[in-house]
Amino acid sequence: MPVLKDAMPLMKEPHPLPQAPLPWILPSLFAAFNVVLLVVFSGLFFAFPCRWLAQNGEWAFPLVTGLLCVLTFFSLVSLNFSDPGILHQGSNEQGPMMVHVVWVNQRAFRLQWCQKCCFHRPPRTYHCPWCNICVEDFDHHCKWVNNCIGHRNFRFFMLLVLSLCLYSGALLVTCLIFLVRTTHLPFSMDKAMAILVSVPAAGFLVPLFLLLLIQAMSVSAAQRSCEGKCRYLQGYNPFDHGCASNWYLTICAPLGPKYMAEAVWLQRVAGSDWVPIQNLHFPVCPSVLSPPAPTSESPQTREGSLR
């Protein structure tokens, strides 16, 4: 049943994210610049040092780096255009006066009210100020791809970080092997391009490896980056199902239908007379979902039964 408005929250809320001072066009251009940068450095690598190795019979290097390049570019583009788990806006008829409580692994969570999206947010759902949307199982907003990282695209984010680590390491190793095998040759354009590619590859390799390690530890412990210093009052994480189960739920579990697709389908079917369905995707109390059915007996009958 609903509880009072002044009830204390059962989980500490993380600090709200700062408002974005830049318009949306600048983050979009930055994300597009990252894609162009990846294409340019990959083109220089395959056109100069990798070409020299292939001409001298070293076909293993272009094959391995080529597969990693395709995997990295695919994961980057997929993450740019992926749905992080957007929850569509609610109805103005809803309000923050009533507070709902749900239970997760024998722990209670008060559904926080989102003033911009007009609904009670499920646990681990937060409003991104940069995208102005509520994202299910929100982790963070990645400025490199200008997209939120949440329930539906976290696996693409992990794939991108892993592929970037492997690809950067392969570029660095291949360029170093090329420079070692061409020490007896005079300085040429191939050597210049190999140095130009190896320097950023070495610079990005260490931060990417640390990011991959941190994300792997977070997945194993069922933690999220946006929670930061948030601590659960009961002493343990109720979302933790064990290391193996956490990895399965994050990487391999079915995602289910998209929330936005279902919202659009409802609007198309109902047309202009559509009335928003409250609490369509959020767990609420059974009394809210199943109100008592009105009886059809007359007042005289009801009065007689009371007697």
Interval 255-283: pLDDT, tens? 877 765 444 343 333 333 334 444 444 43
Q: Quote the tokens at residue 201.
A: 């590859």
Please provide the DSSP assignment of 168-200 as one string. HHHHHHHHHHHHHHTTTSPP-HHHHHHHHHHHH
* Residue 246, pLDDT above cutoff 90: yes
pLDDT value of residue 173: 96
Interval 142-153: pLDDT, tens? 999 999 999 999
Higher pLDDT: 196 or 262? It is 196
Annotated catalytic residue, options 50, 117, 134, 142: 142
Nearest to 245 by CA among 220, 215, 225: 220
Q: What would the mean pLDDT of 192-219 be, rounded to a whole number?
A: 95
pLDDT value of residue 20: 45
How many Å apart are CA 7 and CA 98, to the nearest integer? 10
Higher pLDDT: 287 or 72? It is 72
Residue type, 195: I
Higher pLDDT: 199 or 234? It is 199
Nearest to 66 by CA among 163, 207, 196, 202: 163
Beta strands in 186-291 (DSSP E): none
* Residue 157, pLDDT above cutoff 60: yes
User: What pTM was estimated for this model as a whole?
Assistant: 0.74
85 within 8 A of 257, measured Cβ to Cβ: no
Whether 230 sits among the annotated catalytic residues: the reply is no
* Residue 190, pLDDT above cutoff 60: yes
161 within 8 A of 8, measured Cβ to Cβ: no
pLDDT value of residue 278: 45
C-alpha distance from residue 25 to each of 12, 76, 161, 225, 255 (Å): 34, 19, 25, 25, 30
* Strand 133-135, strand 126-128: pairing: antiparallel
Q: How confident is the model at residue 161 (pLDDT cuts 50, 70, 90)?
A: very high
201 within 8 A of 171, measured Cβ to Cβ: yes
How many Å apart are CA 12 and CA 304, to the nearest integer? 53
Q: How confident is the model at residue 110 (pLDDT cuts 50, 70, 90)?
A: confident
Higher pLDDT: 42 or 293? It is 42
Higher pLDDT: 299 or 32? It is 32
